Each structure stands twice: as structure tokens, then as C-alpha cells.
Chains A and B, each alone.
Chain A
Amino acid sequence: MANPRGATGTVEFVNTTDSANVPLLDVSDVTVKFGGIVALDGLSFSIDRGTICGLIGPNGAGKTTMFNVVSRIYEPTSGTVKYEGRDLLAVPAHGIAHLGIARTFQNLALFPTMTLLENVMVGAHSQGSVGVWRAIARIGAARENRRIRDWSGDLLAQLGLARFAHVPAAGLPFGTLKRLEIARALAARPRFLLMDEPAAGLTHSEVDELGDTVLQIRRDFDLTVLLVEHHMSMVMRISDKVVAMEFGRKISEGTPDQVRNDPKVVAAYLGADA
């Protein structure tokens, strides 16, 4: 796939798009309560177009909860989430794909009985229009299948999965399936990609490779990325901005260097006395 900007690097994409002053995602004062437990406590942050934003924090900090709020799986108790200036909380769960938001899952949420190709084709669901009646009457169904099949095949090739295209997803190695998650998310032609711990469970060399893959797809697909990750070295390497959380609150925000050296972040990870 062609590189639309013909350049590498991480910073130059900040503020280069037309409506640069409106952040792509604007989370303000979001609170999520499960019964008596406060998973998110008045969290606010924003993500600019074309950037990679890392979301870090110890286990139970509320990172995945934040994620599920943006992908409309959890309903926040209060607060607002704006995407390109519109209220995301008014959109149903199945509507976010149509807005150009895609996500990957922490513990793999693939379709095990389908082949890799079919998995990616489901990822392109929002790119098609054939419903039940047109499927029965076969109006445009074959043409749409060809188009989506080719698009999905190209994506698999780009992520180095082409030789597994016709193999069922169940039973393939974890690292392969993690890449499949990315391919499936990209199939929706997203502008905003949410990645939930993409490096979890990968080996060292796979993590390095993944970092490069994320930079590569950001460039090729003109993406904004929200990255939830434990793997500090990868987050610090590829993020333009990092948000650190603890107990459902934001404790630090800034460039990777600023966050890394923030005493509050150090304390959260190593204990209060460190």
C-alpha cells in the first residue's frame, strides 16, 4: 500500500490535518462505577489527529475500562466522550465502526471457526452494504464479496499472514493471532485505532516487531492510535504522548520523557517510597 505522506517519523503528523484545532478524541470527566467500585474517576484527556497516544498504568488502573467506554461496550456513569466533535455516547456499539473507529482486544476476540481471511472480511463489515434481502436475491452480493475479499487478502499480505489466509483461526500461535487482530481492525478502514495491550504475551523480538508494525500502519493508513500497554519500552518508543493512570484517575500526561520522569508515575509503579 502506498505511503500517503512519503515520510517517516513520529512528530510531524501532529496538527497537519485541516481541522487541527479540534482533537480527534476528547474524553472529559468520565466516571464509571460498577456497583460500589469506581473504575474510572473523572478521567479527562484528548488525542490529536495523527498521533499515537499511550495509556499506561498499573493493573486495575482502569485502562481497559476506558477502552471499553470509547468502544461503547461500557456505559459511563457520567462524563462526555467526543469524537471529531460529535457525542460518541449517543452512538450504539455497532455504530462506531461506521464512524471509523476500530479496536483490537487484549485477550483475543477472534472468530475461531472462521479462516483468517474470513475474520478480516468480517472486520470489513462496515465497508459493505449487502443485507439479508439483497443476499437472498443476490443483488450485488457477489461483487461486494469479491471487493471485500481482495481488500482483506491485501491486508493479510501486508501483515505477513497471507500464507495462513485459508487456515481456521483456532489453533494458530498467539503472535500470529495478535497480528490478525490488527489486520481485522484495519479492514474497517479506520481513522482511529484503539489497541488494547497488543504486546501482551509476545516474545521480546515480537514486541520490537510490533512497535515497527504500529508505526508502519499509522503511516500507511493515516491513523490516530490509542495504545494501552504494559510494555513500557515500546510505549515510550512509539508514542507521541503518554497518559498515565492509577486507580481510575489520570496522574500524569505529556511526552514520553515527561511522564517517565514524573515522580507520581514512578511512585505508582515502584511504590510510594521509591
Chain B
Amino acid sequence: MWKIHEGSARHWMIRLLGVAVLAFVVVWIPTQMSSSRIGQVTDAFILMIAAMSLNLVLGFTGQISIGHSAFFGVGGYTAAILIKDHGWSPGYTFYVAAVVAFVVGCVVALPALRIRGIYLALVTLAVAVLFPTLVRWKKLAWLTEGSMGIDSVRYEDVPVWPILGELKGREGRAVFMFWLGLIIVIVTYLVCRGIVKSRFGRALVAIRDNETAAAVMGVNLTTTKVLVFGVSAALCALAGVLSTLKSGVITPDGQYVTLLGSIVFLLVMIVGGAGTLWGPIVGGLVYVLLDNTTRDIGTNDSGILGTLFGWADQSPATLILGLVLVIIMFAAPYGLVGLAKRLSRKVVVVIPRPAGTAKPS
């Protein structure tokens, strides 16, 4: 076992190495991969952002929300309406979507002040079910265009960023959306990290662990819960905007706008590791990877997989995906990051900085 002290030169070297490897991979993907692969990574980014936002509410604060697909939809529709009806430049819609979703999130948080656990799950589930219905409502069709959804809201011409050079056509758009997605992933990560490693973040975990004790310590349960729901909704809306800009359309049946979206966010967060900063990031990547691989396998009906799954009328892709996820959860009940932490502790232990004003002896 290898012991390193937090903040020592060696510790910084390891961190730096990690960042360098990540940076290399991140530059390698858009320069070397096909545009369809790049698009899949951007899909992973969208899931990462949504799962990170859910993680704030559920992983850290312990408030169950199955309503995040609604926040995702609020973001997507805000962007689409602003671009289509008001001719906004797509880039600015991120800010407005975040503010609108923040307000919606604060309102949805109100039930969380009185109920908890499975009952809160049901109320947020109602929000998730309600949102697509609301969007389809005839009296709102002037705004949301009903079941048809709003289309052609993608970037007409990708803006020119000096560092990326001029990007043209489908490939150019894929590369641009990759970088835009990456920026939002980083922003979301930094927001979550800032929150978690602060007095506010400690209050969140305190609420998760013991609400009564948290209140006695001076944590204002009302404002803390309302704010965390608001910030989480705002971040989730960013994922919604990104998704809308990438596909160019948003409909009430859209991939993550329905209740199914909430379930996928939940799955990504839990597979990656709830209550960890990197969990949703790992989860998003793994989920998209598995989803695409199983889809490829599902279309291949020869060989052993054909024998195993050939009886199915439809593609067995979701079945295989489900099985793999069950196996992951069995092997890593605290998520992949939880498993990685447990295993790495056997190899290397980071000794935290001593706390206190006394000089260590």
C-alpha cells in the first residue's frame, strides 16, 4: 500500500497526470473520431449534465426527484421558443433557460418541505407526467406547437471560435456541439464541486443524513431545500438546451422530456455513483457506451448472440442493456465510482491534511 499526503508534491503530480490524460482524450475524440461517434459522446455529455444536476438533489441532499425530465423539457422548450419565435441567438438561451428552470425548480421544491421519501418521489413523478401533457395542451399550442413540437432550432451556421477554426456542414456542427457540450459539462461540474465542498454542501449532506440534527445545527431546511432544487433544475435545463440545439427539435415525446428521461438520469447517476462528484460523469459515459454497443449487438443475429436472443421478435438491445446494468449494480452497489474508490484504497491511500491549529508532532 502506498501512502501519499494530501497536498504533497506527489499528490499534485497524480492529479496533474489525471488531468493531462483527460485533456488528451477530450482533444482526441473530436479530432480523430467519426462525426457519429462524436455525436454519441455529446449525448453522453447531455446525460452527464442531467445526472449531475439530479445528484445534487438526490445523491447529496437525499430528496428523491423523478421530475427532472420536466426541468430538462423546460430548458429545451425555453431555448426553442426563444430561437424560433423571438429570433434569439442560441448561445444566449442557456442563461434564460437556467433562470426559468430555477424558478420552476424552486416551486417544485415546495412539496419537499413537507413530505419526504417515497411520497416526494410520487409528487415529482406527477410533475414528470404532467409536463408533456401540459406542452400538448391545445390552449398552449400558440407557444409550444402541441404534439408537433418545435423544429429547426439548431444553429443555422455554427459560430466561429478562433481556437476551433472554421467548422462547416454536418461534421463541423458535430464538432462544435461537442465543444459546447464539454464547456457546459465543465461548468456544471465546477458548480457542483463548489457547492459540495462548502458550508452549503455540508448542510445538504447533513439534511440527507439527519434532518432534525441539521436544523438544530442552524441549517435552514426551507431555504436550503428550495435553493438546491432551483440550482439543480437550472443545471438540468442546460442539458435540455444542449439536447435541443444538437437535434434541432423538441417534442413532448422527446427522448428525455418524458418520464423515461427521469428514469435514465436516475440510472446514470446510480450506475456511476450517487453522492460522488464524478459518479454522473462516469455513469453518462458508460451508459451511452453500453446503449450503443448493445444496439449494434442487437442488429447482429448470427453467432452466439443470435442463438441466445434470436427468439425475440424485436431487437434484444434493451434486454442486454438491462442485464448488463443489473450485473454492474450487483458488482458495484455504490456505483462504479464507489467501486473504484474501494479498490484504489487497497493500492494508494491519501492521508488528509491535519485539521487544527496545533502543530503536528
Contacts and interface: CB of A to CB of B under 8 A. Distances in A.
B216 A145 contact: no
A132 B355 contact: no
B15 interface: no
Nearest to B195: A135
Contacts of B119: none
B356 A132 contact: no
Interface in A115-169: 117-118, 121-123, 125-126, 128-132, 134-138, 141, 144-145, 148-150, 152-154, 156-157, 162, 165-166
A154 B357 contact: yes
Interface in A86-107: 92-98, 102-103, 105
B202 to A, nearest CB: 5
A109 interface: yes
Contact of A153 (B195, B200, B227, B354): B354
Contacts of B86: none
A129 B200 CA distance: 9
Contacts of A131: 199-200, 227
B190 to A, nearest CB: 8
B227 A109 contact: no
A60 interface: no
Interface string B263-306: 00000000000010000000000000000000000000000000
B194 interface: yes
A97 B216 contact: yes
B216 A130 contact: no
B357 to A, nearest CB: 5
A157 B218 contact: no
A78 interface: no
Nearest to B208: A113
B11 to A, nearest CB: 15
Chain A interface residue bracket vs B: 35 or more
A135 B217 contact: no
Contact of A145 (B191, B197, B209, B217): B197
A184 interface: yes
A201 interface: no
A197 B244 CA distance: 58
B231 interface: yes
Interface string B308-328: 000000000000000000000
B226 to A, nearest CB: 10
Interface in A179-222: 184, 188
Contacts of A156: 355-356
Given A122-B202, A130-B200, A137-B194, A117 B355 contact: yes
A31 interface: no
Contacts of B216: 71, 73, 93-94, 96-97, 102-103, 109
A263 interface: no
Contacts of A109: 210, 212-213, 216
Interface residues of B, number: 35
A183 to B, nearest CB: 12
Contacts of A85: none
A145 to B, nearest CB: 7
B231 A112 contact: no
Contacts of B202: 114, 118, 121-122, 125
Nearest to B227: A132
A21 B358 CA distance: 39
A91 B82 CA distance: 45
Contact of A125 (B218, B357, B358): B218
B183 to A, nearest CB: 16
B198 interface: yes
Contacts of B275: 113
A138 B355 contact: no
A111 interface: yes
Contacts of A93: 215-216
A135 B200 contact: yes
A143 to B, nearest CB: 11
Contact of B191 (A117, A118, A136): A136
A251 interface: no
B203 interface: yes
A111 B213 CA distance: 8
A109 B209 CA distance: 9
A138 B195 CA distance: 9
Contacts of B249: none
A123 to B, nearest CB: 6
17 contacts: A94-B215, A96-B216, A98-B218, A109-B212, A109-B213, A112-B209, A125-B199, A129-B199, A130-B198, A130-B200, A131-B200, A135-B201, A141-B194, A144-B199, A153-B354, A154-B356, A184-B217
Given A110-B209, A149-B355, 4 more contacts: A96-B218, A114-B202, A130-B200, A132-B228
